[in-house]
Amino acid sequence: GIKTNELHVSVCSCCCVFSGDLLVLTVATQETDGFRRFLRSAKHFNYTIKVLGRGETWKGGDYMSPPGGGQKVRLLKSALEDIQDENRVILLVDSYDVIFSSGPRELLKKFQQAKHRVVFSAETLIWPDRHLEDKHPHVREGKRFLGAGGFIGYAPNLKQMLSDWSGADSDSDQLFFTKLYINPEKRKSINITLDNKCRLFQNLHGALDEVVLKFEDGRVRARNVLYNTLPVIIHGNGPTKLQINYLGNYIPHLWMFETGCTLCNEGLRPLSGLQESEYPVVVIGIFIQQPTPFVSVFFERLLNLKYPKNRLRLFIYNQVKHYVQIYNSVDMCRDDIDCEYFFSIDVDVVLKNEDMLRILIELNKPFIAPMMTKPGRLWTNFWGALSADGYYARSEDYMDIVKGRRMGLWNVPYVSHIFLIKADTLRTDLKDPDLFESATLDPDMAFCSKVRNKGVFMFVTNMHTFGRVLSTENYQTNHLHNDLWQIFENPVEWEERYIHENYSKVLRDGLIEMPCPDVYWFPVFTDVACKHLIEEMEHFGQWSGGRNVDKRILGGYENVPTVDIHMNQVGYDKEWQKFLLDYAAPVTEKMYPGYYTMAQFDLAFVVRYKPDEQPALRPHHDASTFTINIALNQVGIDYQGGGCRFLRYNCSVNAPRRGWALLHPGRLTHYHEGLPTIEGVRYISVSFVDP
């Protein structure tokens, strides 16, 4: 157990009880996350704990099944036989769903103030036999019914109370203690009362609306707002496990406004200093469940994770029934004696933090997930609470966690898309083969439900920026490079993929050149964007013949025709207008002060120049207020020659840079021609803006 060297003294009117006289007994047949949480809170306040039942098989039922708990009574009765000190005060509490909110001194003081030899926790609801309701003594204020999950008393009185017990392990402790309490003679002789106003014990079942977190003077604890009390022991009895988990994210002193997260640096597993061969082996399961944009980028980022590649095992699934996929990868980890972790990642996750896997492993939790967001939305890959029917509900702290106002480790009821589980947990608590199956829930919800029911805490960390999750709802797959169309659905990812890395310097640092008067030159597209646009147009293949008659345009006649494909022919006109508005319009407004544009166009197209097809373009004005001309491939590599000459200024741009845009007025002043391409194939995209 946990021993204390300190002697806390509580002075009261009737007698003196030392905190050293207090022994906490609890029953725990397994070391669950809840048990570890209980022990941590006890250690925080220097309680002396004795654990009963370790190594036994639990036969006392649980809150979802018929009454049980008799095993606790048997173990307690046996433990009390060894205690001879008549002044010894015994606290018996559950452990998996209990946390201490304050220390032994306050507990004993409140026990003394109750002026009884045995004090039970009190309940709003009667259980398990409602027919006994009328036999409970009436109280002027407070809760009327006994709760067996927590009680405190002097050893001799507890021995007397348990002397009649001869039940089976599966019998109801709640019913046994209730019958003692409603028997006036027994109640009087043992000297039992209830903690009606939750001064010592707070049972959450039937009382969720009464309990709030109270942050004050560098402390955090639960407050009962109905009775204005500060209970010492919080019990998530019955179906309130999620609520005790929520409170347990803060109590005792795990997260406070003054200190932030105090738990986050405890029990870590540092990886720094290890040889590569000493890193834990991780099986990574990657799941492609539906058509998803930027898949190639996902694998590039996976490759960039800072983790020894020879300590990773990869399992990739593509459009197979979801839970069958996960079984295979989970089993791959379970069955591999070297596997220490299973890392599940959906392919729509954007892995922005190269240290992610190391960070998660070092936190040393059986189950941990990095918080993921969606840009511009309050969506995350976790739920802070569940509704009554098991679906999403917003917890009181959800917004603060999502927005980074509270940073730490959060025990939550649901995570999806990405998580890390210890292999030992998969081999023990989560060894069932049907973890992802349910007649009513989708695989993710079924999985989380079973993880919760096994008592495994699902932690989410938001202490670092880890990444985001793509929007996949409207992803169309009828093009060659479907990601080009993602400028609306996933604008952040689209920009990272397709907008030149130096574009931000154009406006911020003035990275803009003027090769000819009032002609501006700036980087806008990545090489990938240029490559994808060319390949998309060649894949479409319906190049115009470069003739004057052109049914694609209003009036059907083109004065200065090119061999081209219009953006609207490939269904890219809305996306192209969005691109011009977001990336060309700001530069236009900067370089031509006083002019504002909504980037409207009638004509935007990709032009192909070839020596044996159309090598050049005769002098002309554009049907635009301004024109954006983007070079899509590289002179000297893909073609020889080419360029643009502005006749009025006798000025040429002879070496267009791939991905750079030329911005120039279309009419009146900037009469220009396309210079001959003498070898290879040259591609440019042209937009006549504000015709």
Q: Is the peptide bond before 293 cis (omega within 30 degrees of 0)?
A: no
Domain 482-689 class? mainly beta
* pLDDT, position 626: 97
* pLDDT, position 20: 64
The more confidently predicted of residues 56 and 108 is 108
* Best CA proximity match to 347, nearest among 327, 369, 319, 379: 319
Other C-beta atoms within 10 Å of 378: how many? 11
pLDDT averaged over every residue in the chain = 92
Query: In angstroms, what CA-CA distances link 303 with 197, 306, 416, 464, 608?
Result: 58, 8, 22, 20, 36
Q: Phi/psi at 608 (nearest 5 deg)? A: -120, 125
* pLDDT, position 68: 66
State how beta strands 219-224 and 211-216 pair: antiparallel
Q: HEC profile for 246-310?
A: HHCCCCCCCEECCCEECCCCCCCCCCCCCCHHHCCEEEEEEEECCCCCCHHHHHHHHHCCCCCHH
Residue 566 has pLDDT above 60, yes or no: yes
Residue 5: pLDDT band with limits 50, 70, 90: very low
Residue 17 has pLDDT above 80, yes or no: no
Tell me the pLDDT tens digit for each residue of 440-459. Answer: 888 899 999 999 999 999 99
Q: What is the average pLDDT across 86-107?
A: 96
Tell me the pLDDT tens digit for each residue of 55-86. Answer: 878 676 664 444 568 999 999 999 999 999 99
Tell me the pLDDT tens digit for each residue of 500-559. Answer: 999 999 999 999 999 999 999 999 999 999 999 999 999 999 999 888 988 888 888 888
Distance (Å, whole) CA 161 – CA 155:
10
Would you state the torsion angle of the CA atoms of residues 664, 666, 668, 669, taken in this order, to the nearest 10 degrees?
A: 10
In sequence order, the β-bridge partners of residue 284 are 314, 343
* Best CA proximity match to 620, nearest among 601, 648, 598: 648
Q: Which CATH architecture has domain 264-469?
A: Alpha-Beta Complex (3.90)
Q: What is the average pLDDT across 221-232?
A: 98
Catalytic residues: 682
Residue 563 has pLDDT above 50, yes or no: yes
Residue 279 has pLDDT above 80, yes or no: yes
The more confidently predicted of residues 350 and 19 is 350
Instruction: Break the chain into its structural domains and give their ranges.
Output: 22-239, 264-469, 482-689
Residue 128: pLDDT band with limits 50, 70, 90: confident
Share of the chain above pLDDT 90, in %: 84
Residue 12 has pLDDT above 80, yes or no: no
Tell me the pLDDT tens digit for each residue of 291-339. Answer: 999 999 999 999 999 999 999 999 998 874 544 556 578 889 999 999 9
Q: Say if 264-469 and 482-689 have the same CATH topology.
A: no
Distance (Å, whole) CA 411 – CA 426:
19
> CA gyration radius for the chain?
35
Sheet of strand 651-653, all strands in order from the earlier edge strand to the far edge: 617-620, 672-674, 644-646, 651-653
DSSP H or E segment with residue 233? strand 233-235
CA atoms within 13 A on the CB side of 106: 14
Spacing of C-alpha 219 from chain mean position: 27
Q: Which CATH architecture has domain 22-239?
A: Alpha-Beta Complex (3.90)
Q: Strand, helix or coil at 325?
A: helix
Looking at residue 580, the DSSP 8-state letter turns out to be I
Residue 15 has pLDDT above 80, yes or no: no
Residue 196 has pLDDT above 90, yes or no: yes
* pLDDT, position 76: 96
Query: In angstroms, what CA-CA distances link 308 with 275, 282, 364, 596, 638?
Result: 10, 10, 18, 52, 39
The more confidently predicted of residues 529 and 435 is 529
Residue 16 has pLDDT above 60, yes or no: no
* pLDDT, position 57: 81
Q: What is the average pLDDT across 555-567?
A: 92
Q: HEC profile for 404-420?
A: CCCCCEEEECEECCEEE
| Cα angle for residues 348, 582, 628 (degrees, 5° grid) | 120
* pLDDT, position 63: 47
Residue 9 has pLDDT above 60, yes or no: no
